[in-house]
Amino acid sequence: MDSGDLEGEVEIIPGFSVPIENKYKGLWATGLVRYSTTNPQVEVLGRLGLDLGDDDGLMLGAGVGYWIDKDMQLRGEYVIRDTVTSLQVNLVFRL
């Protein structure tokens, strides 16, 4: 994962803000659980793992996958880490 440069401001006291910059990089590993719904093209996804980079700690996620054809799936997931939370769209290819 590489978040790129994140920029923003933190308000210290009302009317006084300080600019901040940050960047998160690292390796992560997760396990994925898939549950097929009554529609064979739709799956519910659950993700649990560890982030071993700048955002060390537990990683938890949930989402939905839609099989476009037998070898390609479009996924949408919400993933929570200690510092970085992401909304992801992924395209998965079966080899």
Asked if residue 10 is part of any domain, the answer here is: no
Q: Which two tokens stand for residue 78?
A: 């919400």
CB atoms within 10 A of CB 51: 22
pLDDT at 54: 67
What's the domain range around 78?
A: 26-93
Average pLDDT over residues 19-29: 70
Q: Which pLDDT tens digit goes with each residue over 34-47?
A: 999 889 899 999 99
Instruction: Please give the helix or strand (H or E) that residue 83 lies within, else none.
Output: none
Average pLDDT over residues 51-80: 90
Asked if residue 50 is part of any domain, the answer here is: yes
Asked if residue 18 is part of any domain, the answer here is: no
Asked if residue 21 is part of any domain, the answer here is: no
pLDDT at 2: 43
Strands 16-25 and 57-69 turn out to be: unpaired
pLDDT at 14: 80
Give 91 or 82, the one with higher predicted confidence. 91
Give 47 or 14, the one with higher predicted confidence. 47
Mention every residue, 6+ apart, whose C-beta is less than 8 A from residue 58. 48, 49, 50, 51, 81, 82
pLDDT at 66: 96
